[in-house]
Amino acid sequence: MNVVLAIAQFVVNEILSQPAYLIGIITAVGLIALRKPAGQVAGSAIKATLGFLLIGAGAGLVVESLKPLGTMIQGALGAHGVIPTNEAIVAIAQQEYGARVTWLMILGFGISLVLARFTPLRYVFLTGHHMLFMATLLTMVLAVAGLSTPVVVVAGGILLGIVMVSFPALAQSWTRRVTGGDEVAIGHFGTAGYIAAGATGQLVGKRSRSTEEMDLPEGLRFLRDSMVATALSMVLLYLALALAYLARVGQDTAFRAFDGGATNIGNYLMKGVGQGLAFGIAVAVILFGVRTILGELVPAFQGIAEKVVPGAIPALDAPIVFPYAQNAVLLGFLSSFVGGLVSLGLLSWIFDPIFGWALVLPGLVPHFFTGGAAGVYGNATGGRRGAVLGAFVNGCLITFLPAILLQVLGPFGSENTTFGDADFGWFGTAIGTAAKLGGWGAVVASLAIGVVILSIAILVQTKVVAAGWDPGAARDRALGITRTEAVTEAAARPDTREFPKIPVPSGAPTPPPPLT
């Protein structure tokens, strides 16, 4: 009996409680269920495990690269400043909540399939990294409120399943406006920003021509590389804050911001450049780890989804809409970034002094992906004005919402990074606020929020999406164009070569495009 107990304790404590091993086991189970060869099962399980370990390694690099920046922000601006980077905050949280996140994600995916099978919301969310990000966020806000592990996993899994089918439905009329059909949905937790951009386009761009009727410089296309954009944004932020910190506190204090200190101003500035590049490397390591995990885990999930929800609409990553309006992507990114800068100024001028909110610094990566997609949605309903102003609204959302979210992240609110996309901000804040009630009150309040979201999504799906509502019909009439002509022309543009082609699934879900 002691031997059996010892074996059971070993399995639970040394294997099932270790998220890296657990990810590998789940991958193996999924592939076995799909009757894959033993060699493929073993190889995929090992790769998924290694991918999770890479995330941990990248987390350490992120923490080290952000330490001097936090000192500079506090010293130069007199306030706590953060850089929204989903991968970074997730990697940090995984060190404490990794096993809970894994179980919650698995349960949430299963619940989403059940909801897709038995409700009108027939969407299968296949953006695996966002599934992981939302699972981590829900674990954090529920766990820091003091809820037990089983409650966190079950309640969080239910909430994750709900949002994975509800958010694509809420955006589907707007997505269909972009793509011209229901072959795909948006499966990216920037949904609030995309809907806001589309609505803004409706308001301001009734007679505005499409962004695809204008030419943009080739010289800015290098910003589409996420690794380059991350490193460049951090280098620029480091240099700007290093100079501001130096001007405010003087050389003696400023030079000590870096480990080992700096010897002169040139050395001080180059240490900032090095730290910015190190952050880019850290995020690249984390991204590679996430890609490695999902490259093995998502196929198993897809096979299961195909069996459970045949003919469902795949909800895919934000770049799925990029080929429909390439110029809108770049305009949206730039406009979203400007929105972030304006919002940062408001945080510094009003909201930090009055409410003590952290300063959320605009990063190129979240503004590129969510801002670019918001530009596409804004262009679909409001042309150039819609792309610019819609993405600007998105930039404001992904600056203010992370600042509010920090209030419910407990000890993680003092980190120099946080979640960046719009849905993490508003949904995480809502659940985190409900969780502060404690005990069963927290569970009931959190699940009530989920039920309300699910009910609204079903209503939107049956009364709006299924009815064929087109949010840009008035603009089309004003300009004398048809939706089919606009979508066909945009999707056929030659510069779509830099992004994945639009998948047109025939029943089974389609593999997601590259990770953002």
Q: Give me 254's structure tokens.
A: 């400023």
Residue 442, both tokens: 């927290």
Distance, in Å, from the CA atom of 286 to the CA atom of 270, rounded to the nearest integer, reads 24
Strand intervals (E) in 356-476: 359-360, 417-418
Which residues, at least 6 apart from 508, have a Cβ–Cβ distance to it below 8 Å?
Answer: 302, 306, 310
Residue 204 has pLDDT above 50, yes or no: yes
Joined tokens for residue 358: 């952290």
The first and second tokens of residue 231, run together, are: 């490193």
Both tokens assigned to 3:
């031997």
> Do residues 483 and 316 lie in contact, with contact meaning Cβ atoms separated by under 8 Å?
no
Residue 2, CA distances (Å) to 5, 12, 15, 16, 210 in order: 5, 15, 19, 20, 72
Domain ranges in the chain are: 12-498
Confidence band, pLDDT 50/70/90 cuts, at residue 327: confident
Mean pLDDT within 40-59: 84
Separation CA 433–CA 177 (nearest Å) = 34
* pLDDT score at 249: 85
| Angstrom distances, CA of residue 71 to CA of 66, 78, 254, 479 | 9, 10, 9, 53
By CB atoms closer than 10 A (0-12, 13-18, 19+), residue 295 is middle
467: pLDDT strictly greater than 70: yes
Cα–Cα separations (whole angstroms), residue 274 to 231, 263, 439: 10, 15, 46
pLDDT band at 487 (very low <50, low <70, confident <90, very high): low
Q: CA-based Rg of the chain, rounded to a whole angstrom?
A: 23
Distance from the first to the final alpha carbon of the chain = 50
Q: Which of 52-56, 114-118, 302-306, 351-355 has the lowest mean pLDDT?
A: 302-306
Distance of alpha carbon 111 from alpha carbon 156, whole angstroms: 11
- pTM for this structure? 0.76
226: confidence class by pLDDT, cuts 50, 70, 90: low
The percentage of residues in the chain with a pLDDT greater than 70, rounded to a whole number, is: 84
- pLDDT at residue 194 in the model: 97
CA distance 440 to 489: 54
Q: Are 158 and 300 in contact (CB under 8 A)?
A: no
Please write the tens of the pLDDT for every residue from 406-440.
999 888 877 778 898 999 999 999 999 999 898 89
Q: pLDDT value at position 175?
A: 94
How many Å apart are CA 455 and CA 169, to the nearest integer? 11
Whole-number pLDDT of residue 76: 72
How far apart (Å, rounded) are the C-alpha atoms in residues 273 and 13? Answer: 42
- Give the sheet arrangement for strand 123-125, strand by strand: 123-125, 313-316, 185-186
Residue-wise over 154-168: b if at least 16 C-beta within 10 A, else e?
A: bbbbbbbbbbbbbbb
Amino acid at residue number 143: A
Residue carrying structure tokens 């870096």? 258
> Using one digit for the tens of pLDDT, what is the confidence trace for 507-516?
333 433 444 4
DSSP letters for 63-127: HHHHHHHHHHHHHHHSS-EEEE-HHHHHHHHHHHHHHHHHHHHHHHHHHHHHHHHHSS--EEE--
CA 257-261-264 angle, 5° bins = 105
407 vs 357: CA distance, rounded Å: 8
pLDDT at res. 218: 64
Residue 89 token pair? 């905050």
* pLDDT greater at residue 281 or residue 137: 137
Dihedral sign for Cα atoms in the order 37, 40, 42, 48:
negative
Each residue of 63-94: pLDDT tens digit? Answer: 678 778 777 876 776 666 788 888 888 888 88
**Quick count: other Cβ atoms within 10 Å of Cβ 381?**
30
Cα 287 to Cα 458: distance, rounded to the nearest angstrom: 34
Q: Residue for token digits 């969080």?
A: 156
